[in-house]
Structure 1
Amino acid sequence: MKKPNFNIVLIAIITIMGMDLIDTTVMNNILPKIAESLHTTPEFLKTGISIYMIVMGMFLPLSSWMAEKIGFRYTLMFAASGFGLFSLLSGLAMTDTQLFAFRAIQGLFAAFSAPVAMLAYLKLSENMLEGTASLSNYTLIMAISGQIIGGIFASISPESWRLAFVMQVPFACFAVVAIYKYFPTQISSNQKQKIDLVGLCLLGFSISALFVLSEILLKEIDLSIKIYIAICVVVSISLYAITYKKIRNPIIDLSIFSNKNFTIAFVSNFLCRLTTYWVFFAWPVVLYHLSHLNTIYISIMSVCLMIGTIISKKTAKHIVYFYGYRTCMVLGLLGVSSVMLISILFDIHYNYITFCAVAMGYGFVLGLYQTSSNAVMYTVADKNKLDSVNTLKSSGNMISSAFALTIFTITYDLYYRYDISHHWLDRFLNVFTQTYYHVVVTAALAQIILVVWIILKMDNVKETLQK
C-alpha cells in the first residue's frame, strides 16, 4: 500500500474508534439536556440508554471473528455506516422510546466498530507496542475532545444536544469511503468456518448480563433478581467451559490462556482496572467537595489526568525496549499505588494546582502499566489468535469499567460501619475523610499484591527495538 493511502486508512480506522468514544463521553454531558427536551428525568434516561451497552456486549464476541470471516474492509464499512445512520436517527428522536430504540440498534454497530478498528490498526502496525501506544494516545485525545464537545453542546440551546448525534454523520461518511477505496485486500483466515452459535449466545448473554448486574447491583431492586442474574451468568460461562472442547471452531479460542504470560497480563489488567478506574468517577466528586469549584475546573482536572496518560506512552516504550514488559508493568503499578497514597496528603492539604498535578501523575503511571499490559497480550499470543485476544480484552475492559465504581462503592460502604444500605454519595460530606482514605489505601495495597504476582510468575518478555 502506498504511504499516502496507508495514512488515509489509519485515519479512517482512528475515526471509527473515535466515533464510538466521543459518543460515550459526550453522552455524560448532554444527558440532562436530552432529559429536559424529551420531558423525562436523567435517571430514567440513563437506565434506558444503557441498552446501548447491553446490545453492544451481546454482539461483542462476534465482532473480531466476523472481521476475520468476511474481511476487515466490509466489517468496518458495515459498522461505520450503521453507527452513523442510527446516530443521526437518535439525534432526530422526538420521544424517549424512539431514542432508546435507535440507541439499541446503534449498540449493535458499536460492537463491530471500535473492537474491529482496534484489531485492524494493530495488524497494520509495525509491532504491538508501537500500535497499542499510538492507538491509546488517539483514543485519549478523542475522549478529551468528547468532554469539550459535550460541554459545548450542553450549553448552546435546549435542543443543541441533537448536534452531538448529527455530527457523527460526516465522520461515518469519510470512514466508509476511505475504507472502501484504500483498505488493502486481505485473505480471510476463517472463510470456511461456521459460526459458533453456542459460544455467541452464552458469551454474549454473559457479557450483557454482567453489565446489567453492574447497573442494578446498588439500586433498590429486589435482591432475588440480582442473585438470579448472577446465577445465570455463572451457569452460562460454565456451560461454555463444559462444551468448549466439543466446539470445532469456537468463537473465542480459550487455549490462549495456556500461555502464562498472556494470562497474567489479562487478569492483572482486569483487576487493576477494577480497583483503580473508580478514580475517573470519584476524583471529580472529591475535588468538588474540597473546593466547590464549578464544572469547568473539574473538567480541567480530568483533562490533566488524561494528558498524563498520553505523555506516558513514550516513556513506556523506552522501558519496554530496554528493560522488558514485566519491568514496565511493575513500575506502572508501583507508581499507581504510590500516587494513590500521596493523593491523601494533597487532599488533606488541598490546593487546586497540586490536585491537578497529582491527577496528571496518576494518569502517567497508569499509562505506563496500561500500555505495557495491553501490548504484551498481543505480543505473546499466536498471530492467528489475535481476534480472540482482542475480543477478550475488549470484553474485559467493558466489564471491569462497568464494575469499577460498584466495587468502590461496596468497599466504601463496608468501611462505613459495615452498612451498605445507602449509596456513598449520600453520605460523602459527613464521613468523607476517614472512610474514603481507607478505600484509597486498600486500592493501593491491591496494586502491590499484583506487583508481587507479576514479579514471581511472569517472564520478562522484551520487544525488538525499532530502528
Structure 2
Amino acid sequence: MPTKKPSPILIALLVAASQFMELLDGTVITTAIPRMAQSFHVHPVDLNLGITGYMIMLAAGIPLSGWAAERFGARTVFASAIAIFTGASLLCGLADGFWSFFAARILQGLGGAMMVPVGRLVVLRKTPKADLMRAMALLTWPALVAPILGPVAGGFLTTYASWRWIFFLNLPIGLVGLLSTLVLIDNARPEELRRLDWTGATLSAIGAVTFVYGASLLGTAAGSVALGAAMLVVGAFAGWATFSHARHLRAPLIEFGALRAVAFAATVRGGSLVRIAISSVPFLLPLMFQLGFHRSPVEAGSLLLVLFVGNLGIKPFTTPMMRRFGFRTVLIVNGALLTATFFGCAVLMPQTPPWLELPLLLLAGMTRSTEFTAMNTLAFAEVPPAGITSANTLFNLCQQVSFGLGVAAGAILLRVGHGLFGPPQAPLSAMDFRFAFVGAGLICLLGVMDFLRLDAAAGAAVSGHRHKSARSAV
C-alpha cells in the first residue's frame, strides 16, 4: 500500500518555524546585552561580536547549502542543521564566559546557514505551482515578525526570568522540528552529484562576509570609516570574481543563469534594495521614539508591535490580491504605498497624536508583508526545476546580505544626518531620523522602480492571474 505524501503546507510550516527560530536569535539578544555583559564581566560593546559573528557565519555558510543538500540529501542536512542550531543554543545558555558564548554563537550561525536555505529548497521542490503562493506566504512571516518580536521577547525574558532563557526556549522548538523533519522530509538526491566548487565557495563567502561587515563598520560610531570602505571594496570585488568564475565552469557552486529570468532578476536586484529599506525600520523606529521623541522603551516597543499587527492582519488578503491584480501591479502599487510610509515616518514629530501615528505604522506593516510575500513568491515562479537549487542558493545569499545591510544602512543614514544637522557630540535629534527615513524611502523607491520591467503576466502560472489580453483571447 503506497504511503501518503506529506502535505507541502506542513513542510512549509516546519521550515517557517525553523526560519523564525533562526531569525529571532539574530535580534533577540539586543535588549539582553547589558545583563549578559554583567554575567560575563565584559563591556557591553564587546558583546556586539556575538551578534556580528552570528550574522557573518550565516552569510558565509549559505553558498554551501545547495551543494550539501544535493550531496548528502535534504533530510540529512536539514535535520543536522536543526540539531547543530539547537545544541548551540543550549551551549549559549550554559556559557559562563564571553569566549565560550562567542564560540557557541559561531556554531549557531553555522547551523542557521544550512537550516533556512535547505528548508526553502525542500518547499520549492515539493510544492506544486498552484500551491506556491500559499507556501511562500508562510515562509515570509518569520522575516517580518522576528526582527520586531526579538527585542521585545529579549527584554521580557531578561527582566522577568534570565537572559539564558532566550536560548533555552529553542530546545523544545528544535526537538519538535528535528522529529518532524524525520517524518515529513525525504532524503532524495540527484543521480549526478556535483563536485564541490571550492573556489566559488571561498569567493562567495569572502564577498558576503566582507560586504556585510564593512557596511556594519560604517554604521558604527566607533567603526573605522577607512576599514569599512576597504571591506566594501573587497566584498564587491569578491562578488564580481564569483560571477566571473561561475561563467567558466560547467557546474559552479552558484549558478547565475537564473538571472536570465526577468522575474527572478527583478526580485534579486530591485528586491534587494526593498529588503534593505524594510530591514532598516525595526532599527530606526525604536531609536527615533526613544532618542528622538524621548519616549519610554515600553511605549516605543508597544508602537513597534503595531507593525506586527499589520504584518499578520494583511496575510489573508495577499493571495487573493495577487490572483486578482497580478504580481506586477501588486509590487508596483503596494511598493509605492510602502515607500510613502517611509516618508510618512520622516514627518512624524514628538507631538504627533497617536491617531495619526498608529494608522501609519499599521499601513507600514501591511505593505511590508505584502511586498515581501509577492517578491518571495514571484522569484521562483519562472525558474525551471533544473535551476531551482542554484537559484535558491543565490536568492538566499542576496536576502541574507540585504538583511545585514538593512541595519547598517539605517545606521549610516543616521550618522550622515547627524553630521549634517547637529554637532558631533550632540545627542541624536528628530531631524537626524527624518533624514534617515527619507534616505531609506529613496532606497525603497529605487527598488520598486525595477518592477516596472516586469511583464503584466509575470508569474501568472503561480498566481492564477489572468491579464486582460489573455481574457479577451478566450
- TM-score, structure 2 normalization: 0.87
Is the Cα–Cα contact under 8 Å of residues 37 and 44 in structure 2 kept in the other structure? yes
The CA deviation at 1:141 is 5.0
Distance 1:62 1:143 in 2: 25
The CA deviation at 1:153 is 1.5
Distance 1:260 1:236 in 2: 24
The CA deviation at 1:47 is 2.4
The CA deviation at 1:313 is 2.9
Q: Which residue of 2 aligns with 1:217?
A: 218
3-state secondary structure, aligned to 2:29: helix
The CA deviation at 1:17 is 1.9
Q: 2:64 aligns with which of 42, 62, 65?
A: 62
Q: Which residue of 2 aligns with 1:437?
A: 434
Q: Which residue of 2 aligns with 1:75?
A: 77
Amino acid at match of 2:26: T
Q: Does 1:288 align with 2:290?
A: yes
Q: Which residue of 1 aligns with 2:311?
A: 309
Is the Cα–Cα contact under 8 Å of residues 261 and 459 in structure 1 kept in the other structure? no
Between stretches 280-289 and 141-150, larger displacement belongs to 141-150
Amino acid at match of 1:149: A
Q: Which residue of 2 aligns with 1:53?
A: 55
Amino acid at match of 1:287: F
Q: Which residue of 2 aligns with 1:33?
A: 35
Q: Which residue of 1 aligns with 2:205?
A: 204
Q: Does 1:194 align with 2:195?
A: yes
What root-mean-square deviation, in Å, do the aligned CA atoms of Structure 1 and Structure 2 show? 2.8
Distance 1:420 1:389 in 2: 45
Distance 2:305 2:411 in 1: 24
Amino acid at match of 2:164: R
The CA deviation at 1:414 is 4.2
The CA deviation at 1:177 is 1.9
Q: Does 1:136 align with 2:133?
A: no
Distance 1:146 1:405 in 2: 14
Is the Cα–Cα contact under 8 Å of residues 30 and 161 in structure 1 kept in the other structure? yes
The CA deviation at 1:232 is 2.5
Is the Cα–Cα contact under 8 Å of residues 210 and 235 in structure 2 kept in the other structure? yes
- TM-score, structure 1 normalization: 0.88
Matches of residues 41-190 of structure 1 in structure 2 within 5 Å?
Answer: 41-126=43-128, 127-137=131-141, 140=144, 146-157=150-161, 160-180=162-182, 182-189=183-190
Between stretches 38-47 and 141-150, larger displacement belongs to 141-150
Q: Which residue of 1 aligns with 2:369?
A: 367
The CA deviation at 1:321 is 0.9
Distance 2:148 2:140 in 1: 12
Q: Does 1:331 align with 2:333?
A: yes
Is the Cα–Cα contact under 8 Å of residues 53 and 102 in structure 2 kept in the other structure? yes
Q: Which residue of 2 aligns with 1:401?
A: 403
Q: 2:261 aligns with which of 259, 263, 278?
A: 259
Is the Cα–Cα contact under 8 Å of residues 76 and 187 in structure 2 kept in the other structure? no
The CA deviation at 1:214 is 2.1
Q: Extract unaligned runs of 5+ from structure 2.
A: 466-474
Q: Closer, same or farther in 2 for the Cα pair 1:359/1:441, shift >3 Å?
A: same
Is the Cα–Cα contact under 8 Å of residues 283 and 410 in structure 2 kept in the other structure? no
Is the Cα–Cα contact under 8 Å of residues 214 and 230 in structure 2 kept in the other structure? no
Q: Extract unaligned runs of 5+ from structure 1.
A: none
Is the Cα–Cα contact under 8 Å of residues 69 and 190 in structure 1 kept in the other structure? no
Amino acid at match of 2:428: F
Q: Closer, same or farther in 2 for the Cα pair 1:386/1:417, shift >3 Å?
A: same
Distance 1:239 1:381 in 2: 24
Q: Closer, same or farther in 2 for the Cα pair 1:355/1:72, shift >3 Å?
A: same
Q: Closer, same or farther in 2 for the Cα pair 1:444/1:378, shift >3 Å?
A: same
Is the Cα–Cα contact under 8 Å of residues 125 and 131 in structure 1 kept in the other structure? yes
Of all paired residues, the percent bearing the same amino acid is: 20
Deviations along 1:198-255, whole A, 9 cap, x unmatched? 1111101111112221222244455543344233323322322332222221111101
